[in-house]
Chains A and B, each alone.
Chain A
Amino acid sequence: MNISLNITKSIHEWLFSIMPEGVANIVEMALIGLLYLAIFAILGLFLVLLERRVAAWFQLRIGPNRVGFQGVLQTMADALKLLSKELTGTVKADKFLYNLAPYFVIISSLMALAVIPFTKEFQAFDINIGIFFLIGVSSIGVIGILLGGWASNNKFALIGAMRSGVQTISYEMSIGLSLLTMILITGSLQLSEIVEVQKSGWLIVQGHIPAIIAFMIYMIAGTAETNRAPFDLVEAESELGAGFHTEYSGMKFAYFFLAEFINMFLIAAIATTIFFGGWLSPFGITESIPWLGVFWFLGKALILIFLMMWFRWTFPRLRIDQLLTLEWKYLLPINLVNIVIMALIVWLNLTIKI
């Protein structure tokens, strides 16, 4: 546990002073777990509301504005409704896997959330293979989708899940390779160290041309990874009902739904950390106040999330063959060439450092 800003340090010392070490450790872990669950829930609800408002604005509508001031409580009301709904299921469903699937999805995105550095030392798990861990954990989510689609015993759900498998496995290559391009500059997989490296210029500035190409590839692949439009043929409403979560209702559906939005946040958060200097302020304006890093981090992440929403409400859905053509014929070769260019740039010391 690496949270050691002053306030968390005093809580830490207070806990260790009133109870034995083992108990204090467990209590602290539980507290941090609760904190992350709270972040998860609040972020999820906020992002759903943001998505609906932004979608409305893109389509010249107004969006939800009835519950609370300008509709701020709308998603709370939705969550309450989903909580009180009956959990239905198909008769011939594989009950165990059917119930297990949402937890795979939600736990994988929670685990990924743990390594994101929100600000200096506000990071639950500063593992030294951070990026590798993120790539690994984020691909567990697809197992949940596959299980959910398979176990619901519904043809729409199965087709949706299989498409999701194809799509996520293909685009994971691009995500991994584009992050690898940036790791050539940082020379470290640890997220906190990657942010430290960026004190002499954000990586998108340091790596200039190949970094921008890598960022574009990352955003395309990241959008595909979260199964959002224009890559939402996993849950293409017009042809598959609701895709892999056709048979889910109530809170289990809400888990899938929240996890989708948290995944979107994660993609944006990783992009912020790798390309845009994480919690670092532009030109080091607020370097002396580490708490403000949270706002810089969330601000940058929200801008990237807005970009993804912009994609969603602009582009039409791709066909499955177009999807695979884009990945295997365009993104992957460009990415491989890009890595070579980046390696040359790092080798010849052509990076821009402020």
Chain B
Amino acid sequence: MSYFSDIYNGIKTLLTGMSVTGKYFLTLRKGAITQQYPDNRATLKMFDRFRGEVIMPHNEDNEHRCTGCQKCEIACPNGTIEIIWDRGIDENTGKKKKKIDKFVYHLSMCTMCGLCIDVCPTDAIKWGQKFENSVYDRTQLTRVLNKPGSKLQHGVED
């Protein structure tokens, strides 16, 4: 006798499904998730986990957190990151110490895998939210992430 209960359950579940989509249909004004991109360019805010490009945040004193350990360069599967480093005198201890000269990032080779960011011990690099990366010349995609004249933030290595 499961024949009739099958029919009953069938109709009941179909109506449940229709009520779910029906609710979506009625709340569409509030819930539309489509971004009308070129129109809302001024107000568009990308979501937190969006992977646009690798950036290196600097604080107001033009200091970054990169110690030049080169772990990111080793972790990168396709040679996107290139660190040109130098040795300088540390003011506090007076010893010779490794510091970065240029953190070169080739956006054109990056696959946004995020291994460099996972591996960074000092959180020096992060995901940026910018995604309008088209340029007329390929060389513009090679970027130096540390700003000119920037130095290591104090206390990062401790």
Contacts and interface: CB of A to CB of B under 8 A. Distances in A.
B135 interface: no
Interface string B27-56: 010011110100000000000000000000
B22 A61 contact: no
Interface string B8-20: 0000001001101
Contact of A313 (B14, B21, B32): B21
A61 B22 CA distance: 14
Contact of A60 (B14, B18, B20, B32): B32
Nearest to B36: A62
Given A310-B21, A310-B22, A330-B7, A61 B33 contact: yes
A58 interface: yes
Interface residues of A, number: 14
Contacts of B24: 57-60
Given A62-B36, A330-B7, A57 B25 contact: yes
Contact of A314 (B18, B28, B34): B18
A57 B28 contact: yes
Nearest to B33: A60
B15 to A, nearest CB: 10
A315 interface: yes
Contacts of B18: 310-311, 314
Most chain A CB inside 10 Å of its own CB: which residue of B17, B25, B32: B25
Interface of B: 7, 14, 17-18, 20-22, 24-25, 28, 31-34, 36
16 contacts: A54-B25, A58-B24, A58-B25, A58-B28, A59-B24, A60-B31, A60-B32, A60-B34, A61-B34, A62-B34, A310-B25, A311-B18, A314-B14, A314-B20, A315-B17, A330-B7
Given A57-B25, A61-B32, A313-B21, 6 more contacts: A58-B24, A58-B25, A60-B31, A62-B34, A311-B18, A334-B7
Nearest 10 interchain pairs by C-beta: A314-B21, A57-B28, A62-B34, A60-B31, A314-B17, A61-B34, A314-B18, A58-B25, A60-B33, A58-B21
